[in-house]
Structure 1
Amino acid sequence: MGDKANAHPGAAGRAVTADHPASVRNVVLVGHSGSGKTTLVEALALTAGAVNRAGRVEDGGTVSDYDEIEHRQQRSVQLSLVPVAWDGYKINILDTPGYADFVGELRAGLRAADAALFVVSAADGVDGSTRMVWEECAAVGMPRAIVVTHLEAARADFDEMTRVCAETFGGDDPDAVLPLYLPLHGDPAPDGHAPVTGLIGLLSQRLFDYASGERKESEPGPEQLPLLAEARNRLIEGIIAESEDESLMDRYLGGEEIDVKTLVDDLERAVARGAFHPVLAAAPAADGARQGLGTVELLELVTGGFPTPLERPTPAVYTTRGASRPPVDCDPDGPLVAEVVKTASDPYVGRVSLVRVFSGTLRPDETVHVSGHGLADRAHANGDGDRRNGDRQAALDPHDLYDLHEADERVGALTAPFGKQQRSLAQCVAGDLACVAKLHRAETGDTLSAKDDPLLMEPWDMPDPLLPLAIQAHSKADEDKLSQGLSRLVAEDPTMRLEQNPDTHQVVLWCLGEAHADVALERLRSRYGVQVDVIPHKVSLRETFAGRSAGRGRHVKQSGGHGQFAICEIEVEPLPGGSGIEFVDKVVGGAVPRQFIPSVEKGIRAQAAKGVAAGYPLIDIRVTLLDGKAHSVDSSDAAFQTAGALALREAAGDATIHLLEPVVEVQVLIGDDDVGSVMSDLSGRRGRVVGTEQAPGGRTLVRAEVPEIEIGRYAVDLRSLSHGTARFSRAYARHEPMPAHLSERIREQAQDTT
């Protein structure tokens, strides 16, 4: 690294292609919002010749142009792909949003990539969310390197930032996180800050000067070599410690000078294994410059040190019936196995799917089998999967998902994105990525395979959306388009969940945070022409009797011809939570004819569904039919249904009715320093902490039970409380009586609306 020639094939004006997995590198950029990821992508594209000196592609846009929402919000909100060519390799650069609300886009980028480039700002340091992503990558052995940006900032200090990275990312082995180059500073500015104008390679001991706008290589001056000695020796020791050649350490300790080529080869192997994590520096090109500082070194690291798709394991695959299959190899001639990692809508092309091919070769106009994990979508649509409403929970076999989402579809054009352009591709081989047009039935996370050998890939982890957004159409015209717009929105973004709550009759869009919700509403408006209003989110309350009560339902009417006659007497008593409604017949002597007893029950259950106090479903009671009267001519099914309902209402009028609120089990994973704040906040939400336990990485898992009505915005509040480092999950536990003052307020609100 650092000794290769400057010559490189430009990619401007044509699509970058790959004919074999060995010539492909897939790298995802990770870092907090504002760390400079998108700027770095553009600088790499400029150095690789994908754009001109003004940073523009042929259509006048930049390589990162895509979403108008990103331009308005001045931040990335979605995953974008920029393919460039360098030294005979195709590099797929995946730029991810840094804001926590769009972590789903980050997870998609991690799925599609074989290595990660962590972008850290020298001015801002490393935030907690970046540390968490590093740990995720470490858990799966993904190779990682670190790029320090914003070196032009007045308080930027590369040496200090390198130390912080080693301390933060190195864990028990800080010598596995070391710089490959040291910055070369120019003359100090009037404010005393000396700009970085070049780099000095620690292994090659060569100077790379970017001051002129193009990288120029030279020998360092004699006064500079002593400054390199300590850092160079530490780097060599770090490389040797991770070397697969066990004799190398003995030779080094014996005083032998290890040649640079051996060190570079060992370094590249250690990086590809995920055992060593080099730190580099980068800065965008100045106006009119051809190369940004450190961009050549980065491209050399990616092509020389990051693994090929052949070296990374592929996700597990199954048949569409759930049977295990041997792992597929990254072989262009193997069976087709590809995955949709992102879905977007183009106003001219329609649906565009970003696809990673793991095996086989994908070609235009061929028919493929689309299979996906559709169980969650169907469950949420009909309410069965709503974890917050236990009385509707269905027992679902995990293998049922393999029957739910399958179709054969013809592949449209294959393209490589360059800004707003889509450049045609003849094929996409195993290990590569491409955009596929008009896969109308494919959604994010779906598998594409041969139609005669349908397969399904193991899904990747996605965060559960926990911020509810209740919406309604703004007008009748919007109402006609709302369903289709929402279905397309959810198909594009698997971190968004749509719920049509049968209890509250609300349409709820579950999001990851406020920014995520804002983008969803904007996409509904701008892409699908649907204007919606946000309304207060309601939780599914219930009612129950606090004690025994009796009621008499009398429905007697005579208005000429056949009349209506039905009388029934009932007793109501509360049951334990989760019992539902139990109906008992204790009528003797035929006071209520046998054919009308089901009518009484039907009327009682219909009234219970409507509620008896504030309009919420009545649950957990036993209703006993004790007595009644009938008429040989005027009694009917409808009359006894009405009498049953009247009896239940009368019993409620003489009893204390409790309003029940849903209580959820909450698990919060938080840093040890924030445990006290989180527990105090949960208590302020009427929560009960039921336990804590230590978790790896200096974190604590707090388990609590909290009324759902109190945690509607907990996804937002917890992020603020923990500076974005905490995670939480929730699951329905049960319904419990609501405090009297809250219950009374809701009853008054219900009366005001009737």
Structure 2
Amino acid sequence: MGDKANTRIGAAGRAATADRPSSIRNVVLVGHSGSGKTTLVEALALTAGAVNRAGRVEDGSTLSDHDEIEHRRQRSVQLSLVPLEWAGCKVNLLDAPGYADFVGELRAGLRAADAALFVVSAAQEADAVPGSTRLLWEECAAVGMPRAIVVTHLDTARTDFDRLTRVCGEALGGDDPDAVLPLYLPVLGPETPDGHAPATGLVGLLTRKVFDYSTGERKENPPDDAQLPLIEDARNRLIEGIIAESEDETLMDRYVGGEDIDLKSLVEDLERAVARGTFHPVLAAAPAAPGGRQGLGTVELLDLITRGFPTPLERPAPEVTTPQGAPRPALACDPDGPLAAEVVKTSSDPYVGRVSLVRVFSGTLRPDETVHVSGHGLAGRGHEDHDVDERVGALFAPFGKQQHPMSHCVAGDLACVARLSRAETGDTLSDKDDPLLMAPWTMPDPQLPLAIRARGKADEDKLSQGLARLAAEDPTLRLEQNQDTRQVVLWCLGEAHLDVALERLRTRYGVQVDAVPHEVALRETFAAPATARGRHVKQSGGHGQYAICDIRVEPLPPGSGVEFADEVVGGAVPRQFVPSVEKGVRAQAARGVATGYPLVDIRVTLVDGKAHSVDSSDAAFQTAGALALREAASGTPVSLLEPVAEVRVLVPDEYVGPVMSDLSGRRGRVVGTEQAGPGRTLVRAEVPELEIDRYAVDLRSLSHGTGRFDRVHVRHEPMPPHLAEKVREEKRAQSAR
């Protein structure tokens, strides 16, 4: 797999700086919440000598001590980097959250990595490979990312490793279940009183060697006579799976003909197939026994990462253009090439300030140099685009609460960068004299709204800056200043995402906010034609006010807005005051005439009026125009209009019926369905936005985490009378308070 001797390793197994891409492996851990990803990272760190037997680094902290929010919630909520050293390679392990609300962090991990470890828990055998994990597997397959599967929690009673690997093959192998096969089988120890036989070691299917982990230290033993027959079927299937992926087309014929294929050829073909992403080995792993240093399968897993997973040299870099969009040649993973790096995560440190986790795709990043920061095209979500020069601060590799300095970061490596005050997640760092912009990765669109307001005056002063910092950390957040409802709205991916965002506002940025009911922007319109007079006449000494105008109001088709026409004859309203009447009418329409929502889809015609040679004025006729519109509404039914969105729901075929039924229950109209790939259907419907405020949460429950949706506003429609009356009652109650 290339030169592995060019990594400088610090004390306690720290991989601080790599000099060549060939000595780097970038791996993201993927799996549902509770599958054991973080525990696995800690077990690998212990085996690599990066932590002591108590699982602690030099300062006494653990690898998971770096985030207080994760500590309190006992759940990973952000992407974290743990660099290790193994077999002369620097291994960057990216531990991604498993909960669906933090899929943005996972997507960032997929962007930064060159291979993925899918972690499956044997404790959840009934749903060992949930639908959300299958979707992520398909995403990796679409870009050809190499994948392996790690089975955890083998110490759980009544687990069946053989059955679990078959489930993984059927769920993830697609048309070729034989592309998902185990490399090792667990060796079971004596049964416990509850009838469970724990795994104490592994037997290598290719080598037929037994590795005993029962003492916490890996020991190699020959197999006994009882074990050999048990592994032959699995061994033969593995060999056939490897040969099927071999570039040597004669190998299968030789094997079928009875030739014993040498182990070296099989291992080389296996490593090539894994690196290409066409074969996906299954391994088992568990933490070390108390007092031990090596957990079950951790050595085998690290060997697979360093020998079977690709180097950054073997993975294509993202496409690049100039910041203006002009195409540029494809990047090569060359430390001497032009600098091109990407911010894959942004966080805040109480002592360092803003910290950017950066993946370098080309060139070499060094401390104290000036780089160009190019923005990311998420202005619609409240994230400012950037096109500025910034000075890079210190480079370091995180390790729990510790920060290990890096002298440089070559192409293919990852590093944390201090004091990039303008760079946000998704931004590109490049040479200031040759700016580049990388094609962004796909970000999920947040669909769960939360309206907030500052708790006090001090919080109000800090809210804007706190929200800006929050947005810089998390590109899956969308900030909205709704002009119709005058609410500040945070759009999130789910309730957990929302809770974490509020907690970060409070604990990191000292901003206390209160959640308030999210308002949907309704509209008003006239249900029938009306006429009215606006009379504004006042005389209180000195200059008076005099303006009278007669108007006719007619409803218009949806989407017409507010039209104004002038039919005054004979100069009853002087020409200079006609625009004043229109201004007053439009101002009142924006404020509403019945419930405070904007008035739309009407034509207001000025038909007559009166003026005074001395007391008439622009302000007087504005007031008269507004009074006339209010008077017209007082004697005519005013309808409430609600926004309707086109909702596109993508779900597995088995959930189409429940989804369509649920949408109908939300006053939705299903307008069509279509196939969207094998086993998946796109359902299109038009649904009032009042009914889908929490649809992001409800769809996840309905589809077991496999459904996705987006929505686009299409129009406003009349609200059902009973719902409109309910809104009017709420408005009257608010006015009375």
Give the TM-score of the pair, scaled to structure 2.
Answer: 0.97
Task: Tell me the residue number matched to 1:79.
Answer: 79
1:563-599 CA distances to partner (integer Å, 9 max, x unpaired)? 2111111111111111111111111221111111110
Q: What CA distance in whole angstroms lies between the structure 2 residues aligned with 1:525 and 1:12?
A: 36
1:109-129 CA distances to partner (integer Å, 9 max, x unpaired)? 000000000000112111111
Question: How far off its partner does 1:10 sit?
Answer: 7.9
Task: Tell me the residue number matched to 1:385.
Answer: none
Task: Tell me the residue number matched to 1:128.
Answer: 131
Q: What CA distance in whole angstroms lies between the structure 2 residues aligned with 1:608 and 1:280?
A: 67
Q: What CA distance in whole angstroms lies between the structure 2 residues aligned with 1:381 and 1:310?
A: 35
1:625-676 CA distances to partner (integer Å, 9 max, x unpaired)? 1111111111111111111111111111121111111111111111222222
Alignment of 1:364-383 (within 5 A): 364-374=367-377, 376-377=378-379, 379-380=380-381
Task: Pick one of 456, 476, 479 that aligns with 1:498.
Answer: 479
Q: Is the 8 A contact 1:81 1:94 kept in 2?
A: yes
The letter for the 2-side match of 1:47 is T
In structure 2, do the counterparts of structure 1 residues 11 and 37 end up closer, same or farther at CA, with 3 Å as the change threshold?
A: farther
The letter for the 2-side match of 1:595 is Q
Task: Pick one of 570, 573, 578 that aligns with 2:554.
Answer: 573
Residue 647 of structure 2 corresponds to residue 666 of structure 1: yes
Residue 330 of structure 2 corresponds to residue 349 of structure 1: no
Q: Is the 8 A contact 1:572 1:624 kept in 2?
A: yes
In structure 2, do the counterparts of structure 1 residues 444 and 664 end up closer, same or farther at CA, with 3 Å as the change threshold?
A: same
Alignment of 1:251-262 (within 5 A): 251-262=254-265
Residue 118 of structure 2 corresponds to residue 137 of structure 1: no
Task: Pick one of 278, 298, 303 that aligns with 1:300.
Answer: 303
Residue 532 of structure 2 corresponds to residue 532 of structure 1: no
Alignment of 1:369-518 (within 5 A): 369-374=372-377, 376-377=378-379, 379-380=380-381, 404-518=385-499
Task: Tell me the residue number matched to 2:190.
Answer: 187
Q: Give the gaps of 5 or more residues in structure 1.
A: 383-400
Q: Is the 8 A contact 1:79 1:109 kept in 2?
A: yes
1:483-515 CA distances to partner (integer Å, 9 max, x unpaired)? 111110111001111111111111111111111
TM-align CA RMSD? 1.5
The letter for the 1-side match of 2:105 is E
Question: How far off its partner does 1:611 sit?
Answer: 0.2
Alignment of 1:626-705 (within 5 A): 626-705=607-686
The letter for the 1-side match of 2:51 is V
1:404-451 CA distances to partner (integer Å, 9 max, x unpaired)? 421110000000011011110000000000000010000000000000
Residue 291 of structure 2 corresponds to residue 288 of structure 1: yes
Q: Name the SS of the counterpart of 1:46 in structure 2.
A: helix
Q: What CA distance in whole angstroms lies between the structure 2 residues aligned with 1:503 and 1:520?
A: 24
Alignment of 1:205-220 (within 5 A): 205-220=208-223
Q: What CA distance in whole angstroms lies between the structure 1 residues aligned with 2:408 and 2:472?
A: 25
Q: Name the SS of the counterpart of 2:18 in structure 1.
A: coil
Q: What CA distance in whole angstroms lies between the structure 1 residues aligned with 2:279 and 2:645?
A: 43
Task: Tell me the residue number matched to 1:61.
Answer: 61
1:511-540 CA distances to partner (integer Å, 9 max, x unpaired)? 111111111111111111111111111011
Residue 575 of structure 2 corresponds to residue 594 of structure 1: yes
1:349-405 CA distances to partner (integer Å, 9 max, x unpaired)? 11111000000000000000001124x33x4559xxxxxxxxxxxxxxxxxx9xx42
The letter for the 2-side match of 1:721 is L
Question: How far off its partner does 1:13 sit?
Answer: 6.8
Q: What CA distance in whole angstroms lies between the structure 2 residues aligned with 1:99 and 1:380?
A: 22
Task: Pick one of 328, 335, 339 that aligns with 1:336.
Answer: 339
Task: Tell me the residue number matched to 2:91.
Answer: 91
Q: What CA distance in whole angstroms lies between the structure 1 residues aligned with 2:250 and 2:668?
A: 60
Task: Tell me the residue number matched to 1:391.
Answer: none
Q: Name the SS of the counterpart of 1:17 in structure 2.
A: strand
In structure 2, do the counterparts of structure 1 residues 10 and 163 end up closer, same or farther at CA, with 3 Å as the change threshold?
A: farther
Q: Name the SS of the counterpart of 2:55 in structure 1.
A: coil
Question: How far off its partner does 1:695 sit?
Answer: 2.4
1:238-277 CA distances to partner (integer Å, 9 max, x unpaired)? 0010111112122222222110000000000000000000
Task: Tell me the residue number matched to 2:315.
Answer: 312
The letter for the 2-side match of 1:635 is S
Task: Tell me the residue number matched to 1:44.
Answer: 44
Question: How far off its partner does 1:11 sit?
Answer: 5.1
Task: Tell me the residue number matched to 2:523.
Answer: 542
Q: Is the 8 A contact 1:29 1:117 kept in 2?
A: yes
Q: Is the 8 A contact 1:12 1:49 kept in 2?
A: yes
The letter for the 1-side match of 2:323 is T
Q: Name the SS of the counterpart of 1:556 in structure 2.
A: strand
Question: How far off its partner does 1:60 sit?
Answer: 0.9
Q: What CA distance in whole angstroms lies between the structure 2 residues aligned with 1:697 and 1:438?
A: 46
Q: Name the SS of the counterpart of 1:55 in structure 2.
A: coil
Task: Tell me the residue number matched to 2:700.
Answer: 719
Q: Is the 8 A contact 2:369 2:391 kept in 1?
A: yes
Q: What CA distance in whole angstroms lies between the structure 2 residues aligned with 1:408 and 1:210?
A: 53
Q: Is the 8 A contact 1:11 1:85 kept in 2?
A: no
1:253-311 CA distances to partner (integer Å, 9 max, x unpaired)? 22221100000000000000000000000001111101000000000100111000000
Question: How far off its partner does 1:555 sit?
Answer: 1.2
1:680-718 CA distances to partner (integer Å, 9 max, x unpaired)? 211121111111122223122111111111111111111
Q: What CA distance in whole angstroms lies between the structure 2 residues aligned with 1:594 and 1:365?
A: 67
Q: What CA distance in whole angstroms lies between the structure 1 residues aligned with 2:284 and 2:129?
A: 15
Q: What CA distance in whole angstroms lies between the structure 2 residues aligned with 1:186 and 1:446?
A: 52
More moved, 744-753 vs 277-286? 744-753
Q: What CA distance in whole angstroms lies between the structure 2 residues aligned with 1:551 and 1:751?
A: 24
Task: Tell me the residue number matched to 1:27.
Answer: 27
Q: What CA distance in whole angstroms lies between the structure 2 residues aligned with 1:313 and 1:300?
A: 23
Q: Is the 8 A contact 1:546 1:657 kept in 2?
A: yes
Alignment of 1:218-237 (within 5 A): 218-237=221-240
Q: Name the SS of the counterpart of 1:668 in structure 2.
A: strand
Task: Tell me the residue number matched to 2:584.
Answer: 603
Residue-pair matches, total: 727
Task: Tell me the residue number matched to 1:744.
Answer: 725
Q: What CA distance in whole angstroms lies between the structure 1 residues aligned with 2:16 and 2:198?
A: 35
Q: What CA distance in whole angstroms lies between the structure 1 residues aligned with 2:390 and 2:141?
A: 37
Q: Is the 8 A contact 1:565 1:636 kept in 2?
A: yes
Q: What CA distance in whole angstroms lies between the structure 2 residues aligned with 1:529 and 1:563?
A: 53
In structure 2, do the counterparts of structure 1 residues 748 and 155 end up closer, same or farther at CA, with 3 Å as the change threshold?
A: same
Q: Name the SS of the counterpart of 2:532 in structure 1.
A: strand
Q: What CA distance in whole angstroms lies between the structure 1 residues aligned with 2:134 and 2:248?
A: 31
Q: Name the SS of the counterpart of 1:515 in structure 2.
A: helix
Task: Tell me the residue number matched to 2:566.
Answer: 585
In structure 2, do the counterparts of structure 1 residues 186 and 9 end up closer, same or farther at CA, with 3 Å as the change threshold?
A: farther
Q: What CA distance in whole angstroms lies between the structure 2 residues aligned with 1:745 and 1:605?
A: 27
Q: Is the 8 A contact 1:13 1:58 kept in 2?
A: no
Q: What CA distance in whole angstroms lies between the structure 1 residues aligned with 2:274 and 2:93?
A: 18
Task: Pick one of 519, 524, 542 that aligns with 2:500.
Answer: 519
Q: Name the SS of the counterpart of 2:725 in structure 1.
A: helix
Q: Name the SS of the counterpart of 1:12 in structure 2.
A: helix
Question: How far off its partner does 1:16 sit?
Answer: 2.7
The letter for the 1-side match of 2:443 is M
Q: Is the 8 A contact 1:546 1:658 kept in 2?
A: yes
Question: How far off its partner does 1:9 sit?
Answer: 7.4
Q: What CA distance in whole angstroms lies between the structure 2 residues aligned with 1:666 and 1:429?
A: 45
